[in-house]
Structure 1
Amino acid sequence: MSTPIRRGALCILLAGGTAGACDPASFPVAIDPGHTPRQPGAASARGIPEVRFNDELAAALVAELAKAGFPNVALTREPGEDISLLNRSAAANRRGARLFVSIHHDSVQPRYLSAWEVDGRRRFYSDVFSGYSLFFSRDNADPASSLAFARLLGTRLRTAGFVPTLHHAQQIQGEKRELVDAWRGIYRFDALVVLKSARMPALLVEAGIIVNRHDEPSLREPAQQRAFAHRIALAVADFCEAGMVQP
């Protein structure tokens, strides 16, 4: 069941922000479904491309934002469309988005992968790690607000029972990300192109680890997608109400 949106409930997390009346109609949001059909991202434990997970969750998020009263929401790309990373943020910049949320699903480093057979094909999985993660860039136009939104979202996810994965902070090749907030699952990753090229607060969300055989099916369940998307919508409403971003 969806939780009613409590306006301004988490404004204390936004140091320096001034809470005020939020006008969702004048708060455009850009939703970026990660990857494309040509560059589909990670393959799940059962061989489903990440881009399919991203498109489904992005659609659920658009619907949840509409329910929350945010009608001005645009995808950076439509399902099946190929678009570069810079063109994604450029589209959000042109539309005057006040917040940029990039939707992804996670994998692990090759050392953690094992092989198994699915429908006669060799696939790769890892059940070692589970959970979501949030990434912001200090090279973004507004890193303070980006981190503030990450804290709002992390709090919404944790209080709803979602748990972050901390494996991106491991001191191994391909990881070594700065873990800014372990409880909320927030990392700093300055080089992420869509975040640093956005002219508004921006966050990349890894909603779950699709190579985990136990997590993969639930990440495609509509009810689970709606529950996760609902928490993002709550955090967007909190952020809007806090008045962190000025028009």
Structure 2
Amino acid sequence: MKSIFVVFCLLFSVSAWSNQLESIRIWPSPDNTRIVLDMGSAPAYDYFMLNDPHRLVVDLRQTQNRVNFASITNNSELITRIRDSKPPSPGSYRLVFELRSGVKPSLFPLTPAGEYGHRLVIDLPYQDQSRAPQPVARQATPVGQKEIVVAIDPGHGGEDPGAIGPRKNREKHITLAISRRLAELINKEPGMRAVLTRTGDYFVNLNQRSEIARKARADLLLSIHADSVANQGPRGASVWVLSSNRANREMASWLEKQERQSELLGGVGEVISQTDGNPYLTRTFLDLSMDKSRADSYAISEHILSAMGKVVRLHKSKPEHASLAVLKSPDIPSILIEAGFISNPQEEQLLITAEHQQKVALAVFNGVKSYYRQNPPSGTMMASQPTQGGTRQHTVRSGESLSLIAQRYGVSVSRLKGHNQLQSDVVRIGQVLDIPGS
């Protein structure tokens, strides 16, 4: 009789606690704090806010806690304490986050992916925007003194580790290390300035990365990553630009699949706004802007690959194409750089060393600088610097027109034609044009 009673109690406890709260991870960033609850199975939950003092209360139905609150690493200025409280019903678990200020939380579950199982993600955006980095007020830059701004995007971060190597090194740490080195090199170059989309180990929504670059008025966006495939054999760096069509190659498909998993971390998604003006005119301007952005991206990527090929192994000697969100900004040339294969044991070991990270960063920097020395944007310090013989030259690339080249260098089409004794507006790929002084 006693054994039957014990079995009954065990069955009751399993049914009452069909889920487990296994750990709590906190990821503070400049504009929000993200909390991740690792669960044994898909969470069933409710939540509400309390004021005076500010608290977020999360009720997890049929859940048992296995977390020691004292062991949680909390570097967030928003969360002051984590505790439990009396649950609303037997078998449920009530979790309380004490906060410094009120927030409008966003909660969403995530299914298992990579090394993580079921999760409940809680985003707490800072209502006090003084916490977030504010744009620096800048005076009008005199003509010829404008800096070339390069936005550097360290791939992944926070809850999104990216690829994980055989020795358990994470892509997100490698990309941040290389990005910091690259930013340091760019900031030391007169006439150039770097801005990072993330400066620490936290997640940034994929669409927000381009928005950070746009707010900084970036001339270029470089997204730094480390490749991974199931086969440990492939090695070498590669450079990716936006494809006009959906990429169908195996590697591109893998990248896009990985990106979709990252997009889930953005929460419920974002509403795409539409302009109130003429939709056909808007689409035309967007198409023209995208064509220019893609042409510039491809040209810059060739310079980067050339520089990287001198110091590191290349996986592909030509730019690859894929349809990735971080490359889709219509107004900023955008390039994704795979520093190497973290899935290859030898290359994984290289990627975590400071020496190799510096090699990659220096090669990317040299490639970018080489391009802008040959194609300085109008009004920048580089454009005002004297060139050999007092004349600049431009080699026509795919997708470029005479009007586009004239706009880039700040001269009129008629002057560009006259300077090069052109009889028509037609230019051919590979044609070298002399650029008259502005």
Residue equivalent to 1:73 = 194
What secondary structure is seen at the aligned counterpart in 2 of 1:55? helix
The separation in 1 between residues aligned to 2:205 and 2:218, in whole angstroms, is 18
Q: 2:296 aligns with which of 145, 151, 165?
A: 145
Q: Does residue 35 of the first structure (1) align with residue 168 of the second (2)?
A: no
Alignment of 1:52-201 (within 5 A): 52-69=173-190, 71-108=192-229, 110=230, 112=231, 126=232, 128-138=233-243, 141=290, 142-158=293-309, 160-166=310-316, 184-189=317-322, 191-197=323-329, 199-201=331-333
In structure 1, what is the Cα distance between the partners aligned to 2:203 and 2:343?
24
The letter for the 2-side match of 1:186 is: P
Structure showing greater Rg: 2
In structure 1, distance between residues paired with 2:200 and 2:330: 21
Mark the CA change 1:152 to 1:71 in structure 2 (over 3 Å): closer, same or farther.
Answer: closer
Q: Distance in 2 between matches of 1:163 and 1:94?
A: 35
Q: Is the CA contact (8 Å cut-off) linking 1:92 and 1:198 kept in structure 2? A: no
The AA in structure 2 aligned to 1:53 is I
Relative distance call for 1:87 and 1:50 in structure 2 (3 A) is same
Q: Tell me what 1:169 maps to.
A: none
Partner of 2:153, secondary structure, is strand
Tell me the amino acid that sits aligned with residue 227 of structure 2: D
Corresponding residue for 2:125? none
Alpha-carbon distance in structure 1 between the residues aligned to 2:145 and 2:334: 18
Q: Quickly say closer, same or farther: Cα 1:39–1:57, change in 2 above 3 A.
A: same
How far apart are 1:24 and its partner, in Å?
Answer: 8.5
Question: CA 1:185–1:164 in 2, change beyond 3 Å: closer, same or farther?
Answer: farther
1:244 CA drift (Å) = 5.8
For the 8 Å contact 1:135–1:186, the answer to whether it is kept is yes
Change (3 A) 1:45 1:24: farther
Paired with 2:189 and 2:355, the residues of 1 have a C-alpha distance of: 17
In structure 1, give the amino acid aligned to 2:214: N
Q: Structure 1 residues 245, 196: CA separation in 2 closer, same or farther (over 3 Å shift)?
A: farther
- SS of the aligned residue for 2:344 comes to coil
With normalisation by structure 2, the TM-score equals 0.41
- Unpaired segments ≥5 residues, structure 1: 1-22, 113-125, 167-183
CA distance in 2, matches of 1:246, 1:239: 14
Aligned match of 1:226: 358
The normalised TM-score by structure 1 is 0.72
Q: Which residue of 2 aligns with 1:235?
A: 367
One-letter amino acid matched to 1:227: K
- Contact 2:240–2:336 (8 Å) recurs in 1: yes
Return the offset for 1:163: 2.4
Distance across 1 between alignment mates of 2:202 and 2:330: 20
Q: Is the 1:97–1:200 Cα contact (8 Å) retained in structure 2?
A: yes
| 1:105–1:208 CA contact under 8 A, matched in 2 | yes
Distance 1:25 1:214 in 2: 42
Which has the larger strand fraction? 2
Any stretches of 5+ residues in structure 2 without a counterpart? 1-143, 245-288, 380-438
Change (3 A) 1:212 1:156: same
Q: Which runs of 4+ in 1 moved over 4 A?
A: 244-247
Alpha carbons 2:237, 2:338 under 8 Å: kept: yes
Question: What whole-Å deviation, never above 9, does each CA across 1:153-181 have from its counterpart, x for those lacking one?
Answer: 111111x2422224xxxxxxxxxxxxxxx
Tell me the secondary structure at the aligned position of residue 39 of structure 1: coil
CA distance in 2, matches of 1:24, 1:226: 29
User: Is this contact kept in 1: 2:169–2:348, CA < 8 A?
Assistant: no
Q: 1:46 to 1:185 in 2, by over 3 A?
A: farther
Q: Which residue of 2 aligns with 1:45?
A: 166
**Amino acid corresponding to residue 187 of structure 2 in structure 1:** A
Residue 196 of structure 1 deviates from its aligned partner by: 0.7
Q: How big is the alpha-carbon RMSD for the aligned residues of Structure 1 and Structure 2?
A: 1.9
Do the aligned partners of 1:134 and 1:206 also contact (CA within 8 Å) in 2? yes
Contact preservation (8 Å) 1:165, 1:185: no
Deviation at 1:138, TM superposition (A): 4.2
Q: Find the aligned partners of 1:245 and 1:200 in 2 and give their Cα distance.
A: 13
Question: Is the contact between residue 90 and residue 198 of structure 1 (CA under 8 Å) also seen in structure 2?
Answer: no
- Secondary structure of 2:345's aligned partner: coil
Per the TM alignment, residue 71 of structure 1 is displaced from its structure 2 partner at its CA by 5.0
Q: Distance in 1 between matches of 2:346 and 2:203?
A: 30
